[in-house]
Structure 1
Amino acid sequence: MKGKKILYVHGFGSSGQSGTVTRIRELLPGTEVIAPDLPIIPREAMALLRDTCDEQCPDLIIGTSMGGMYTEMLRGFDRILINPAFRIGETILKRNMLGKITFFNPRKDGAKDFIMTKHLQEQYLEMCGQCFSGITDDEQDRVFGLFGTDDPVVDTYGIFSQNYKNALRFHGEHRMNDTVLMHSVMPVIRLVDDRQNGICRNIIYISLEDTMERNGIPMPSMMKTYRYLIEKYDVYIVAALPDNDSSYPVRMQEWTFDNLGVPAYRKLILTNRKDLLYGDYLIDACSNGGSADFMSTRIELGSETFKTWEDILEFFSRLNGQ
C-alpha cells in the first residue's frame, strides 16, 4: 500500500486515536492512514464519511464493529469489514447500553463521554436498515468481511454471507489485537493491494501430507516459512483425495483453517494428480500422486538439498519472490 490512502472507520465509543490506527501506521509506514472521530449521531457520521471519501478518495477502507456497518455503505471503494455490527441498534438495547457511555480512546474535541438515549438508539436502528442496498457484481468483489469465531458481542457472519461472497472467519474475539491484525487482516490488505497494482505473484504449492504436519500438528519451522512465503508468493495447499474416506476433505478444510487461518482462504486444492497443477514451485516430501512429474520446480523436503523447512526458507529468501 505504499503511496496509497487507507480510511479507518472506528467502532462504537472509540475514536481515530485508537491503538489499532497506530499499529496500522506502524505496519504500513508508506501509507497515509486517515482516521476521523465519528460524530455520535449516525446520519452525521455517515455524512462525514461520505465527504471524507469524496475529498480523499481512499484506496482502501477498513471498518471495525460499528465502523464496519458504516463502511459497508461506502459504495465504490475496496473495503474490509471486521466484525461489522450490522445490528448495532439492537445490540445497544441487548447489552443495556442506554445512559452514559465513556469513550474508550481520546477524541480530538476532548469529549470524555456521551449519553445514549432511546431516541439516539432508534437512529442507529434506522441506519442499520440502510445496509445491503444496491449491491452490484462489482461491489461483491470489492468487499471482504472478517468474523471472529469467538466474538461475544456481534455475530453477523450469516447476514453478511447472504449478501457478499467474501465472508472469512478468523480465530479471535470482537476487538482486534496484534495477532488478528498481522495474520488475518494484513493478508487481505496485501490481496487488495496486489489486485489494485495488477500484480500476479509466482505460485507455490505445498503438499500437506507428510510435509506441513506430524500427527495433525503443524511444525513450527513450517509455520515460520509459510508466513514468509505468503508475503512474497501466491501459496496454495495441496492434499490428496482418497477414494474411501469421504470425510477427509472436511478434515483438510478444518486443518487449514485451524492452523493457517485467513491466508489459506480458498487456497486448498484436493487432487491425486499433482502433475496437472500449473504453477512455479511444488514443495513435497514424496513422489507419489504425480509429484515426481510436476512440470516446474519441485522442492523435495527431506532431500540432501532441502533437509528441513529452514533450508526451504533460506532458498526462497534468496529468491525474494522470484
Structure 2
Amino acid sequence: MNDIVENISDTLPVMMYLHGFMSGANGAKQRQLQRQFKGRYRVIAPELDADPDSSLEVINRAIREEHPEIIIGTSLGGFMALECESGDADVVIVNPCLFPKSQLAQWVGEEHTYFCKRLDGVQTYTLTQATLDKYERYDAVQSVRDNSPRVSAMCSTADDLLGDSHVKALTGLIWDSFFKVVDDFGHQCKDAGMTHLYDLLELVIDRRRRMGGSPRSFSDFEEMVRSRPQPEVPGFYCLTVRSYEPDQMDLKREYVNRQTAEEATCDPMPFRLVRRNGDVAVRMMPSDRNVKVFNPDSADYATFHEATEAMNGLVGSKGILDFEIRHYPFGIMSQTHRYVESWMYDFRGSLIQKSTCSPVHNRQPGIYGKFFGHLPDSLPYRKGDIVIVFEPSPNSNRTYAMMGVIAEEPHTVKKGYEYYRRVVKRRERDGLPVCDWLDEENYPGYENDRYLVQTGFYNESMNTLSYRHPMEIFPVKFPVCYAMVDLMMQWHSQYCEFKRVFHNDC
C-alpha cells in the first residue's frame, strides 16, 4: 500500500477515486477524471487490494487527511466507497461489486497479474478464502439504505461480470435522478461509460451546491435538531402559580405530581367521578374555592433568573398545584396563551418538562418552528402512561380533569427526518431550491407535537382519542382507584388491538 497520488493545487476541493479488483491507483480512471475536472477538483486515488480491512484503513486515513467532497468507486471500489468513513462526502458507485464474497469466489487460489503498473511495485496477487471471509462483516446494501441521500449509482445492464445483480439490489434505494441504469458499456467503465459518469458527477456537484448546509443523512439531521439555536425573541417572563384548596366533601382525591402519596407534602387534589357523554370521567371541582389560578403582584419579569427566584420563594407553600414560567414575546398579551418557551414545574419546584412548540413558533422560519418538537430522550410521557388531562368546558367555567392513557407518543426526530426527506424529494422534482427551504417564512413545520390521549372506550369514530399539547397533561401517581386503572387499560388494549388488526388488513 502506498501513499496518495496527488495532482494539481492543494487549494482545490478533493475528489477521490477508488479502483476495482486487480487494478491500481495508477490506472486510467484517475487521469481521465483529473482531465475532466481540471481546475475544479484535485483527484486523488489510494492504492488498494482485495483485503477489505487493510484497504478501508488506507481509504479512511486518506479521508481524514484530504476531506474529499466526492468519493467515486468502480466495481470492488464501489463496495469500498460504501463501507468507508465517507462523512459528508457524496458517494458515487459504478457497477459496484455489492456481494464480494460470492462474486469474487471464482478467482480464489489463483495468481493474477494486475491490469496496470502498481505504485507499490507488486504486479501479482493471489486471492485467498480467508480474505473473502472478511467480507461477512460488511453489508454494502445496508450502507446504501443508511446513506441513500449521499449515494449515487450508475449500473450497466450489459455488465459482463456482475450481470444485473447490482441493478436489482439498488432499485428503490437511491433517489431516482441519481440512479442511472444504462446498457451501452460492460463491466469496465470506459468510452460511453465515462461519458455517463461525467454527467452523473455534474448532477452530484450541482446537488452539493444546491443543498448547501442542509442535512443529508439522519445523523446530520439529528445533530442539527439537538444543536439548534434557541430563538432569540425579545420579551418577558411570566410566572403563573396555580393553587387549590381541598374540599371536605366526599370526593375522590388523587395526587397530580411526581411523588407517591407517602412522599407528598401537599394536600391531595380533589376529584369527583362523574359520567360525561356516557363515559366515565374524573372532574376537578369547578368552584373558585377549590381551584384557583393567581398571579403574584409582580408576575412579569425581565429575565428568566428573576422569574425562577420568585418561584423558589413560593415552593413549599401549602395548596400549590404547579408553577409555570412562560416567555412571551413583546406585543403578545399573556392571556392569549401564545408562548415561545414554557417550563413546567411540580409543587416542589422540580422541572417536569420544557417546551418550545407553540402557536408562536408556527409562524417562525423553518428550524425555529414546531418542526422539531420534543426529542425522544426528553419525552416526559410514554405510551401506556396514565395521565390527567385538564380540559376547560367550552360553555362554562368548569374545568374537567379527564383521566386517560397515552395511546401514542409525539413525533420523534426520526419521523421528522422522514418528512424532511419527502420534502427534499418533492422540491427536487419540482425544480425548487433545496438548500434554503428550512428558512422559508411560510414553512409550516411538521405535524403538531402532541400526545394522543385516549379518555374513553375506543370506537372507530375516534371521538375519545384526542391530541393534547403536553402542557395540558399531568402525570398521575398511584394509588389510583384500581377499577379506574383496569378500565383505562381496557381502553388502551382495545385501541392497540384495533391498530394491530388495521395494520394487518393493510
TM-score range, shorter chain: 0.5 to 0.7
Task: Find the counterpart in structure 2 of residue 284 from structure 1.
Answer: none
- State yes or no: 1:41 paired with 2:51: yes
Deviation at 1:65, TM superposition (A): 0.1
The CA distance in 1 between the partners of 2:109 and 2:92, in whole Å, is 29
The CA distance in 2 between the partners of 1:39 and 1:12, in whole Å, is 7
- State yes or no: 1:113 paired with 2:121: no
Q: Which whole-Å deviations, capped at 9, do the CAs of 1:96-135 have from their partners, x for residues lacking one?
A: 4432121111111100101112212222x32543652484
Task: Find the counterpart in structure 1 of residue 161 from structure 2.
Answer: 153
2:113 to 102, 111, 121: 102
2:102 to 87, 90, 100: 90
Whether the 8 Å contact between 1:86 and 1:128 is mirrored in structure 2 is no
Task: Find the counterpart in structure 2 of residue 54 from structure 1.
Answer: 64
Q: Amino acid of the residue matched to residue 160 of structure 1?
A: L
Task: Find the counterpart in structure 2 of residue 164 from structure 1.
Answer: 174
Q: Amino acid of the residue matched to residue 27 of structure 2?
A: S
Deviation at 1:79, TM superposition (A): 1.0
Task: Find the counterpart in structure 2 of residue 5 from structure 1.
Answer: 14
The secondary structure found in structure 1 opposite 2:111 is strand
Whether the 8 Å contact between 2:21 and 2:77 is mirrored in structure 1 is yes
2:193 to 163, 172, 180: 180
1:67 to 53, 56, 77: 77
The CA distance in 2 between the partners of 1:115 and 1:192, in whole Å, is 36
Q: Amino acid of the residue matched to residue 178 of structure 1?
A: D
Q: Which whole-Å deviations, capped at 9, do the CAs of 1:151-187 have from their partners, x for residues lacking one?
A: 02113112122543343202221001122112x1111
- 1:1-322 maps to which residues of 2 (within 5 A)? 3-30=12-39, 31-74=41-84, 75-76=86-87, 77-93=89-105, 95-123=106-134, 125-129=135-139, 131-133=141-143, 135-136=145-146, 139-154=147-162, 155-165=165-175, 166-171=178-183, 172-182=185-195, 184-198=196-210
Q: Residues 149 and 131 (structure 1 numbering): CA distance in 2 closer, same or farther, change over 3 Å?
A: closer
The CA distance in 2 between the partners of 1:127 and 1:46, in whole Å, is 13
Q: Which whole-Å deviations, capped at 9, do the CAs of 1:51-105 have from their partners, x for residues lacking one?
A: 1111111010000000001111234320110000011211122x34432121111
The CA distance in 2 between the partners of 1:45 and 1:96, in whole Å, is 19
The CA distance in 2 between the partners of 1:44 and 1:53, in whole Å, is 14
Whether the 8 Å contact between 1:92 and 1:98 is mirrored in structure 2 is no
Q: Between the two structures, name the one with larger relative contact order (CA 8 Å, sep ≥ 6).
A: 1
Whether the 8 Å contact between 1:73 and 1:131 is mirrored in structure 2 is no
The secondary structure found in structure 1 opposite 2:189 is coil
Q: Residues 54 and 69 (structure 1 numbering): CA distance in 2 closer, same or farther, change over 3 Å?
A: same
Bigger helix fraction = 1
Q: Residues 56 and 90 (structure 1 numbering): CA distance in 2 closer, same or farther, change over 3 Å?
A: same
The CA distance in 1 between the partners of 2:44 and 2:179, in whole Å, is 25
The CA distance in 1 between the partners of 2:140 and 2:190, in whole Å, is 29
Whether the 8 Å contact between 2:83 and 2:138 is mirrored in structure 1 is no
How many pairs are equivalent? 199
Q: Residues 98 and 59 (structure 1 numbering): CA distance in 2 closer, same or farther, change over 3 Å?
A: same
Q: Which whole-Å deviations, capped at 9, do the CAs of 1:276-319 have from their partners, x for residues lacking one?
A: x999xxxxxxxxxxxxxxxxxxxxxxxxxxxxxxxxxxxxxxxx
The CA distance in 2 between the partners of 1:129 and 1:195, in whole Å, is 26
The CA distance in 2 between the partners of 1:85 and 1:128, in whole Å, is 12
Q: Which whole-Å deviations, capped at 9, do the CAs of 1:258-293 have from their partners, x for residues lacking one?
A: xxxxxxxxxxx9xxxxxxx999xxxxxxxxxxxxxx
Whether the 8 Å contact between 2:144 and 2:173 is mirrored in structure 1 is no
The CA distance in 1 between the partners of 2:102 and 2:199, in whole Å, is 32
Bigger CA radius of gyration = 2
The CA distance in 1 between the partners of 2:137 and 2:97, in whole Å, is 11
Q: Residues 40 and 151 (structure 1 numbering): CA distance in 2 closer, same or farther, change over 3 Å?
A: closer
The CA distance in 2 between the partners of 1:127 and 1:101, in whole Å, is 25
Structure-1-length-normalised TM-score: 0.56
Task: Find the counterpart in structure 1 of residue 482 from structure 2.
Answer: none
The CA distance in 1 between the partners of 2:77 and 2:431, in whole Å, is 40
The CA distance in 2 between the partners of 1:193 and 1:81, in whole Å, is 15
The CA distance in 2 between the partners of 1:278 and 1:40, in whole Å, is 41
Q: Residues 170 and 115 (structure 1 numbering): CA distance in 2 closer, same or farther, change over 3 Å?
A: same
The secondary structure found in structure 2 opposite 1:186 is helix
The CA distance in 2 between the partners of 1:188 and 1:85, in whole Å, is 19
Structure-2-length-normalised TM-score: 0.37
The CA distance in 1 between the partners of 2:55 and 2:76, in whole Å, is 11
The CA distance in 1 between the partners of 2:431 and 2:199, in whole Å, is 23
The CA distance in 1 between the partners of 2:173 and 2:138, in whole Å, is 14
Identity of aligned residues (%): 22
Q: Which runs of 5+ in 1 are unaligned?
A: 200-268, 270-276, 280-322
Task: Find the counterpart in structure 1 of residue 264 from structure 2.
Answer: none
